[in-house]
Amino acid sequence: MLATPKPDKSLPRLWQTALRHGNGVLRHDQGTSGAPGMADEEQLAILRQGPEVWNTWRQEHPDHKIDLIEADLHGACLIAANLIWANLHGADLSEADLKGANLIRADLREANLQEADLREANLRRANLHGADLSEANLHDADLGGANLNRANLEHAVLVGTKLAVQVHPLRKLQIPTRQNVPHWLDCWTQTLGRPRSTPAGHVTSHQGGGRAGY
């Protein structure tokens, strides 16, 4: 039997983790923790110390893959946290404070973002497939190019939320009742239900409801 190579301390931490798994290759669902569907406990501990500590650590380790799969971050204070490209697949971010957080290209598939504060957060090209954003506050958030397929936006606050695509009332977001249309999204006409042309898909609404399904 071949011996598992010992990690070289001079190598980056991600490479050391790969070597511990014998062939130097991590499975796509393992992440840096080396275990399927588990967050990197070291990274999670740093993040829980607050956004200032976390952002400093990210500046010092720009090449580290951020693995926070299924992390329990319920109610966490993550104001202006640098979470670019972070893997938050299935993470619990319910009631988390993510004001001004940078979530560009973050993997938020099936994440729980119920009642999360995402005011002015940058979610450009984030993957929110199947995410629960019910009652989340997305005031002035940037969702340009984000994947909202099957995302739950029921009662989400979408005042000033930026979208990169035209919102179509029947195809993009399904609204529970027609009387909610004028109150929810004033870029629609009340008579024909057609979207008016808005610059860069800029949404000026009060509250949203429904589930994205495109």
Instruction: Let me know how long the chain is.
Output: 214
d(CA 51, CA 35): 26
Task: State the average pLDDT over residues 142-158.
Answer: 95
Of the pLDDT bands very low, low, confident and very high (cuts 50, 70, 90), residue 91 is: very high
Task: State the average pLDDT over residues 72-90.
Answer: 98
How high is the pLDDT of residue 26? 35
Structure tokens given for 127:
């993957």
Do 164 and 141 contact (CB within 8 A), yes or no? no
Do 163 and 144 contact (CB within 8 A), yes or no? yes
How high is the pLDDT of residue 160? 95
pLDDT over 90 (residue 66): yes
List Cβ neighbours of 56 (8 Å cut-off, separation of 6 or more): none
Amino acid at 153: L
Domain 67-214 sits in CATH at 2.160.20.80
How high is the pLDDT of residue 164? 72
